[in-house]
Amino acid sequence: MPVIARRTLLAGASLAALAAPLAAQTYPSRPLRFIVPFAAGAGVLDIMARLVGQHLGASLGQQVMIDNRPGAGGNVGAEVAAKATPDGYTMLMGAIALIVSPYLYARLPFDPLTDLVPVTQVNSAPLMLVVHPALPVKSVAELIAYAKANPGKLNYGSGGVGATPFLATELFKSMAGIDVVHVPYKGGAPALADLVAGQLSFMIENVPGTLPFVKDGKLRALAITSRQRLALVPGTFSIMNESCPATRSASAGAPPL
More confident residue, 124 or 150: 150
- Looking at the chain, how many residues does it have? 257
Alpha helices in the chain (DSSP H): 19-23, 44-60, 75-82, 97-104, 112-115, 140-149, 164-176, 188-196, 207-215, 245-250
Q: Closest Cα to residue 141, out of 196, 222, 70, 65?
A: 222
Predicted confidence band of residue 213 (pLDDT cuts 50, 70, 90): very high
**Same fold for the domain at 4-124 and the one at 126-250?**
yes
Measured between alpha carbons, how far is 106 from 126 in angstroms, rounded to an integer? 29
Model pTM score: 0.69
The arithmetic mean of pLDDT across residues 157-178, rounded, is: 91
Instruction: Fill in the DSSP letter of residue 240.
Output: T
Predicted confidence band of residue 198 (pLDDT cuts 50, 70, 90): very high
Q: Decide if domain 126-250 falls under CATH 3.30.70.1070.
A: no
Condensed to tens digits (0 to 9), the pLDDT of residues 18-36 reads 444 544 568 899 999 999 9
Query: How much of the chain exceeds pLDDT 90, in percent?
Result: 51
Could you state, in order of their start, the residue ranges of all structural domains in the chain? 4-124, 126-250
Amino acid at 158: S
Burial class, 59, CB count within 10 angstroms (exposed 0-12 / middle 13-18 / buried 19+): exposed
Condensed to tens digits (0 to 9), the pLDDT of residues 59-115 reads 999 999 999 998 887 889 999 999 999 888 999 998 877 888 888 888 899 999 899
Q: Give pLDDT, residue 20.
A: 47
- The CATH homologous superfamily of the domain defined by 4-124: Bordetella uptake gene, domain 1 (3.40.190.150)
